[in-house]
A and B are shown apart, each in its own frame.
Chain A
Amino acid sequence: MRIRAQVAMVMNLDKCIGCHTCSVTCKQTWTNRDGTEYVWFNNVETKPGIGYPKHYEDQDRWHGGWQLDEKGRLKLRSGGRVKRLSRLFVNPDLPSIDDYYEPAAFDKDILVNAPAGLKDTPVQQPHSALTGEPMALTWGANWEDSLGGAHEHATGDPNLARMSAEAAARVKFEFEKTFLFHLPRICEHCLNPACVSACPSGAMYKREEDGIVLVDQDRCRGWRMCVSACPYKKVYVNHSTGKAEKCTLCFPRIEAGQPTICSETCVGRLRYLGIVFYDEDAVLAAASVTDEHDLLEAQRAVFLDPTDPAVQEAARAAGMPQEWLDAAERSPVWRLISEYKVALPLHPEYRTLPMVWYVPPLSPVLDAVGEAGRDDTDADDIFHTIRELRIPVEYLAELFTAGDVEATAGVLMKLAAMRSYMRARTLDGTVADDLLDGIGMTADQVEAMYRLLAIAKYDERYVIPAAYSKDAAALEAQATANQDCALDCEGGPGMTKQASAESFHLVEGEQVRPGRPGLFSRRADGRRGFTINPLRGGA
């Protein structure tokens, strides 16, 4: 067993109102630069819908993620190493920018400088951020918001194509019969990342300490294999720098013990952040399970129980401080995934072992007439209700359990039973025991789950231990020896530039050398290089 910690996220889709605050704050923080106009590290999709980029879930087309070969071995869907290198000159699986959308900019001066007394309101025309030419807006990252244009496009949702014809027929796009829910997506920071595995230059990596998947901007050579290999299409090409960029899980915030910006600003408070312990040696076997329906259980089995003394001992032996062990025990993510088992991974069939999991949404019952005679506290009745939700279970199953309807229905059952149980408990104080039996949970567990899903406060939703250094003892010794300036003394580790949005760039081991100004000093953005770089001029 090789124990590692992973910062993971759970999103409770029942609470997402599709306000896009997460997307906007993420964009302001990370991708409001040249070359990333079309990039949304966090985006919110409306389901059913084709998504961003268009049809990204159609792996027959994009060849993202992993699959088993005829001998049952795990390999990248886009092919092996030699095949990948043979496609360096042109990558046939790469989405073009039109598959995302053509970003537009507006000339705000037209409004600001409009003379007083105009009879008509001045109108801004959108200009392409790529060419500067006037353009028509025909698509965007959330073009399908709240089923906009669904009657034209949404039948192209790849999840519908995978459902049985009978189940797919129940998905309607007429206004009165349709349904929708929002799906916020960030990078999954997978345990078995396809992007890292496809990166020819080895620039992408998974951090040992917290499992965050990053692109080393200094080592990326722009081979763009990560973009097509990621089945979630969450690695992007910055067409200005020619390098790959992706969601960083706001690592500077996580390191400081703060939640990601998307979580921090989430209006619905639907995001949970915490660490989970997992066994790195078990990852490959879990990703190689033959039956896709067994993938969910296999992925859960990779996680280690943080309350198990043996696991705690292993974590200590691996150099993790007590703070991390405590955080793992209190982790809301661990509880939702492994204890209550109500969180599910997005598309486990991609075999990347994604680390952003989702609590699937309940929805109104489709058949309003049949609803009348139902007993809310009868387990059987609730189970039937689950089968008649406006969002078909089959659709959710395509998203979260590789089409395993029973597994998804079981989770919805738990959520519905929790509501009924709490309703009875609150209204007349009764304890609905047969509901508990039906979902196999204790009263304490259901009430704790209710608290976590409904009213958990900031520090219950985000349990993030600050980053630790393996050489913490050495730093402390230095601090004691030099009381006046502690770690901030010249050349001390505290002098290292903290990563920020401006230096999206990993600072490698080399320190800033003070007193060496001039041509070869570090630039203001933390990169080494000519202060005025002739190579990148005019770009």
Chain B
Amino acid sequence: MTNFVWTVLPYLCLAVFVAGHVWRWRHDQFGWTTHTSQVLENRLLRLGAPLFHLGVLGVAGGHLMGLLVPASVTEKIGISEHAYHLIAVWGGTVTGLMLVTGLVLLIIRRVSNGRVRRVTTRMDKVLYAALAGMALLGMIATVGVNLLGGGYDYRETVAVWFRGVFWFQPDPALMSGAPLVYQLHAIGGFLFLALWPFTRLVHVWSAPLAYLWRPYVVYRARRSPAPSPTASPDQVRDAAREPSVRR
């Protein structure tokens, strides 16, 4: 079981993540959208959406830093273990709280506003539940364990195992000793990646950075060939009157 969870499951999830995106991109361009509902409700969104998104950007940056950069590298460039800990815990707490506040506002908005509730799909509900679960586990790990509790150095275990996944040498032993909340957060993270391509989260990959360099007015030629001219109503009428006259 341990082997499956820490060595097989990540690859299954990553495979679904990649294949799912390829499938969605090729077959559901029409559904590939933020699915904005701002036009239906603006008051809660105005506060919730920026909080959530900026929080997510901070949290994502923190995860990249914590998981991908080995402790030896930060040591080498002169960041002490203590300094790193302060940055990680406080940065994580602040951006995490932004994320949670924004998410709570957005969920309240989804539930309380009848207009928004009506356009909420089943997949949206799954996504909100997954986001809430991940945020909860993450906040317990950061605030509960590292800020208020005794602390746990995930950089020696979780991060090493995580990098191992990408070297195709994941070491299950590193994870089996980690606290339960870290284990759940890690499994949840991979499951979340597997869920990603099937939700509106795909809009993340369409972040329109190219807009910064694009000319303002876009011209495009018609792709499909011109349709054959159809008879106008007066032509149809006249043809009926004089059947001998063929157009």
Interface residues of A (CB under 8 A from B): 81-82, 84-85, 88-92, 94-97, 128, 130-133, 192-193, 196-197, 199-202, 204-209, 216-224, 227, 237, 239-243, 252, 255-258, 264, 458-459, 466-472, 475, 487, 493-494, 496, 498-499, 505-509, 520, 527-530, 533-539
Contacts and interface: CB of A to CB of B under 8 A. Distances in A.
B151 interface: no
3 nearest A-B residue pairs (beta carbon) = A200-B208, A242-B35, A131-B114
A239 B34 CA distance: 11
A84 B207 CA distance: 12
B36 A222 contact: yes
A458 B234 CA distance: 9
Contacts of B209: 85
A202 B216 CA distance: 9
A536 B198 CA distance: 10
Contact of B221 (A207, A223, A258, A498): A207
15 contacts: A88-B208, A90-B42, A90-B49, A91-B38, A96-B40, A97-B115, A193-B217, A202-B218, A205-B218, A219-B29, A221-B34, A222-B34, A224-B38, A242-B33, A498-B227
A218 B26 CA distance: 11
B39 A471 contact: no
Given A90-B50, A97-B115, A192-B217, A201 B224 contact: no
B121 interface: yes
B63 interface: no
B229 interface: yes
A243 B117 CA distance: 18
B229 to A, nearest CB: 4
Given A81-B211, A193-B217, A537-B122, A237 B39 contact: yes
A interface SS class:
loop
Given A206-B219, A221-B208, A535 B38 contact: no
Contacts of B206: 201, 221
B226 A469 contact: yes
Contacts of A469: 225-226
A216 B218 CA distance: 12
Contacts of B53: 89
Nearest to A464: B232
B75 interface: no
A95 B39 contact: yes
A227 B39 CA distance: 10
> Which of the four size classes fits the interface of chain B?
35 or more
B123 A487 contact: no
B interface SS class:
loop
Interface centre among B34, B53, B114 (most CB of A within 10 A): B34
Contact of B225 (A243, A471, A537): A471
A535 B28 contact: yes
A204 B216 CA distance: 11
B208 A94 contact: no
B241 interface: no
B211 A467 contact: no
Interface centre among A95, A205, A237, A242 (most CB of B within 10 A): A242
Contacts of B30: 217-218, 241, 243, 505, 527, 529
Contacts of B37: 239, 242
Interface in B110-158: 114-115, 117-119, 121-123
Given A201-B206, A221-B34, A487-B228, A96 B42 contact: yes
Given A242-B34, A471-B225, 11 more contacts: A85-B208, A97-B40, A128-B114, A132-B114, A209-B222, A221-B32, A237-B38, A239-B37, A520-B27, A535-B28, A536-B31
Nearest to B45: A90
Contacts of A468: 226
Contact of B214 (A202, A467, A507): A202
A88 B28 CA distance: 22
Nearest to A201: B208
B115 A209 contact: no
